Structure 1
Amino acid sequence: MDRLNSELYLQNCYIIQENERLRKKAQLLNQENQVLLSELKQKLSKSSAKNTKNSLPDLNISTNSNPPTSSSSRP
């Protein structure tokens, strides 16, 4: 019984160490992910700002070549 208990204790210690190693790795990956997400958001906001400036309609250009007359489909 003592031998089995010792083996289980050693397995538990190994699992705890492995868990700690994986926790640290997950933390590093999360930090890297946050940095990449921040960079992506910055690039998208810059791109969006450029597209917004370029895609603003010119309000001085008329889209309708024949303006409506007062005798249109009103009775």
Structure 2
Amino acid sequence: MEKLNSELYLQNCCIIKQNEELRKKAQRLNKENQALQTELKRKLSRANSNQNPSTESDVSSTSSSGSINLSKP
């Protein structure tokens, strides 16, 4: 019984470590995603303001309507 408990404890420790690594990776990816969204919004805003200054309000409402998922393959 103690051997089984020891094995389960070690498995649990490994799972906890993997979970922490995945959480850190998710935070990094989220930060990168937010930076890419900001950059895309800025580029869209510049492109629209160069093409037609009267539609600038359309860009801000479109770009803020939802999150854009730009993940690397």
Q: Give the structure-2-normalised TM-score.
A: 0.70
2:11 alignment partner AA: Q
Residue 65 of structure 1: aligned partner: none
Q: Tell me the percent identity.
A: 62
Q: Return the structure number with greater relative CO, CA threshold 8 A, min gap 6.
A: 2
Q: Give the structure-1-normalised TM-score.
A: 0.68
Residue 44 of structure 1: aligned partner: 44
CA distance in 1, matches of 2:51, 2:15: 52
Aligned length: 53
1:19 alignment partner AA: N
Name the structure with the higher helix share: 2
1:49 alignment partner AA: S
Q: CA RMSD in A?
A: 0.7
* Structure 1 residues without counterparts, runs of 5 or longer: 54-75
Residue 20 of structure 1: aligned partner: 20
* Structure 2 residues without counterparts, runs of 5 or longer: 54-73
| Deviations 1:14-45 (CA, angstroms, capped at 9, x unpaired) | 00000000100110011011001100000000
